Amino acid sequence: MGGAASRLAAPIKHRRVERELDNKVAEALRERAKARKKTFRSVNSITMRLPRFKDGLKDIRDVFALYDTDSNGTIDNEELRSCLSKLEVRMSEKEADDVHRYCDVDSRKGIQFQEFVVLICLMYLLFGPNVTRRVSEFESDKLNYIFDELIDAFLFFNRDGDGKVTRKDVTQRMNEESDRERTPTHITTQLFKEMDLNKNGKVNLKEFLFSMIRWAGLEPEEGDESNDTSL
Ligand SMILES: [Ca+2]
Ligand SMILES: [Ca+2]
Ligand SMILES: [Ca+2]
């Protein structure tokens, strides 16, 4: 996690990219929050879905393997370019670079599996379901389903869809189930700390997705060093 945090906090250019993409994501989230019925009504309902998330992540891992043409566990610049061109989303070279930089948060250069999940999920959110059809024709329904659920889980915590979950949001959501005892403050604080990778007091969709991947507990592929358990 140290690597992710220090790289996220680092150069000004990164911060500019971070801000711009966070804003784009927030815009899409707000639209979505208005348009969709709520999928999740409690933290528990999200927790119960984790095994399904895990299955969905396995499907995404197969897609990752398609684009990691040299099978080294990383999608490098060239492989990413071919992946993005396949998505047929209208992005300038600079925008593609920005997305790359935005998603490449761990200490390993290039896009590893967890980062790929975030990348495709962002593309799905920003450009719509056609994206997954182009990523993988056969898996697209399954991918749309998992991304819908992951984004809806984020919107459960981030009701207004401004793209930033605060510690207060987490505390409130965890405590609104009337049949449950109040979650001790140190637990909600700890949970929030785990999610807030760059320690800026807010959890964005990207950070939330990394947390969901970790909680779903997807085992690394054999020989895949990209499973950075500290993420
Ligand atoms: Ca590769
Ligand atoms: Ca990386
Ligand atoms: Ca944060």
Residue 219 lies in a domain: no
How high is the pLDDT of residue 177?
A: 75
Residue 174 Cα to ligand 2 middle (Å): 31
Residue 65 Cα to ligand 2 middle (Å): 15
Residue 225 lies in a domain: no
Provide the CB-side half-sphere exposure for 14 (13 A, CA).
14
Provide mean pLDDT across the span 5-27.
81
Provide mean pLDDT across the span 166-183.
85
Residue 189 lies in a domain: yes
Residue 70 Cα to ligand 3 middle (Å): 33
Q: Which ligand is nearest to the CA of 7?
A: 2
**Domains identified in the chain, total number:** 1
Residue 221 lies in a domain: no
Question: Which range of residues forms the domain containing residue 112?
Answer: 2-214
More confident residue, 4 or 169: 169
Structure token digits, residue 134 = 């182009």
State the Cα–Cα distance between residues 231 and 164, nearest whole angstrom: 19
Provide mean pLDDT across the span 92-107.
90
Provide mean pLDDT across the span 29-41.
91
On average, the pLDDT of the chain sits at 87
Q: Is the pLDDT of residue 7 over 60?
A: no
Residue 193 Cα to ligand 3 middle (Å): 9
Residue 220 lies in a domain: no
State the Cα–Cα distance between residues 97 and 24, nearest whole angstrom: 15
**What is the length of the chain?**
231
Rounded to 5 degrees, φ, ψ at 165 are: -95, 130
Residues having C-beta closer than 5 Å to ion ligand 1? 68, 70, 72, 74
Taking a C-beta distance cutoff of 8 angstroms, is the pair 209, 119 a contact? no
Query: Per mean pLDDT, which range of 2-6, 44-48, 52-56, 73-77 is the poorest?
Result: 2-6
Residue 99 Cα to ligand 3 middle (Å): 17
Residue 23 lies in a domain: yes
Q: Which ligand is nearest to the CA of 113?
A: 2
How high is the pLDDT of residue 150?
A: 96
How high is the pLDDT of residue 221?
A: 53
Residue 4 Cα to ligand 2 middle (Å): 9
Residue 184 Cα to ligand 3 middle (Å): 22
Residue 8 lies in a domain: yes
How high is the pLDDT of residue 230?
A: 46
Q: Which ligand is nearest to the CA of 82?
A: 1
Q: Which ligand is nearest to the CA of 225?
A: 2
Confidence label for 220 from pLDDT (cuts 50, 70 and 90): low
Residue 218 Cα to ligand 2 middle (Å): 17
Q: Which residues of 32-63 are buried (b: 16+ CB within 10 A; e: fewer)?
A: bbeeeeeebeebeebeebeeebbebbebbbeb
Residue 223 lies in a domain: no
Residue 228 Cα to ligand 2 middle (Å): 10
